[in-house]
Amino acid sequence: RLEAELRAARHDNEVLARTDSLTGLWNRRHFEDTVETEIERARRYGTPLSLLTLDADHFKRINDSHGHHVGDDVLREVAQLLGQQIRRSDLLCRWGGEEFMVLVPETDGDRAAAMAEKIRQRVAAHQFAGAGRVTVSIGVGQAAPGETADTWLRRVDAALYEAKQRGRNRVVLASEPATSAPAA
């Protein structure tokens, strides 16, 4: 009995270590531990794997204008809205601050971008208590064959940055990774 209780306590501690305390979502640690497995699974079965990286626009203004408690409420509401727009097979994580990641198995970049657009519209239409309207910018990208997780995340992050640079409240699909020229 004691051994079972210890196993249960260890499991509970592991879940706590992988969960974001504010939103209840998986955290960055869990994402980093999971992404390699998902990339390998997609390669093994020849299925697409996409990623959405999402950032609340002008979030600092919300905290500065309305206080951190309202900012926290906005993050919790964004997390709920995201959870309502994704499938059970998708992995939703709070990456940090006002940034979220959604790992989307068996989904190509175009379908993931369509999903991201629905999320963007849903968040933009929502009335946030204490903060009014909030928008999000989203970078989207499909993992390329042989691409490392780090390279893929950087590519999708660049798409998010481009969405912000182009005026925010938009979805940008990451460009394909550069391929090296064949050896002569």
Write out the catalytic residue numbers. 98
Distance CA 56, CA 58 (A): 7
**Cβ count within 10 A of residue 54:** 25
Let me know the angle formed at the C-alpha of 161 by 155 and 165, rounded to the nearest 5 degrees.
140
Distance, in Å, from the CA atom of 148 to the CA atom of 38, rounded to the nearest integer, reads: 12
By residue count, the chain amounts to 184
Closest CA to 120 of 67, 171, 69, 176: 171
